[in-house]
Amino acid sequence: MPNTPNTLVVGKTDGGFRDHVYRDARGRYLDAYVLASNGVLATPSGVTVVPQGTTGATTYGYRISAKNGTGETLASTTVTTATGNATLSVSNFNRISWSAVTGASSYRVFGRTSGTELFIVEVTATTFDDTGAITPAGALPGSNTTSTSYNLRVPAYRVQKPAIRNPDGTSQAAVTTTFPGGVLTGIAPGTTKTQVNCVFPAVLRK
């Protein structure tokens, strides 16, 4: 067990993953739970593109990749529309949708020229409205670099510091601090992640 405060330790017992412990800033160990083990991510599927607003006769193409804490998948095959507006805007745009990938924490959208799609944006939802505001730039992924990751939960807990009287006669009031706990999603062993909802940096180790 490491002595470093604010660490979440992933270990193995009996050949499998078990409940794990979180060492808080005061050096105490708290239970943390593995909610799921995510294998290599699948390439996104079910991709569609539907022009919104005034349509036209311009062809657009899009591809989607998925990401987690370990890497990124290959991009999906190109999906096109031949009825897009020549000038994309907030009124006339292309709505791209796809199916959620188990274990993915975000998705990257590539487009807009069919056959030479470039990176447009990274989102956490499974839909994106391309209004033409972002200039595509950045190559498609060359391979699936994802590997096993984990979803974990750290429960809420409360730290209570009692009131004390100092030697000089002054006193310090009691202090209660509550940490809300939360869920860490798509975390890879050996990586560091800051989780706002959990209010601590977590380091995962094999």
Is 86 in the same domain as 126?
Answer: yes
- pLDDT tens per residue across span 143-186: 999 887 666 666 666 666 777 888 888 887 877 666 666 666 66
In this prediction, residue 181 carries a pLDDT of: 65
Does residue 24 fall inside a structural domain?
Answer: yes
pLDDT over threshold 90, residue 192: no
pLDDT over threshold 50, residue 12: no
What's the whole-number mean pLDDT along residues 94-123?
96
Does residue 2 fall inside a structural domain?
Answer: no
Residue closest to 186 by CA, chosen among 90, 61, 101:
101
Is 60 in the same domain as 24?
Answer: no
In this prediction, residue 66 carries a pLDDT of: 97
In this prediction, residue 152 carries a pLDDT of: 63
What value, to the nearest 5°, has the Cα angle with vertex 18 and ends 17 and 23? 110
DSSP, collapsed to helix, strand or coil, labels residue 172 as: strand
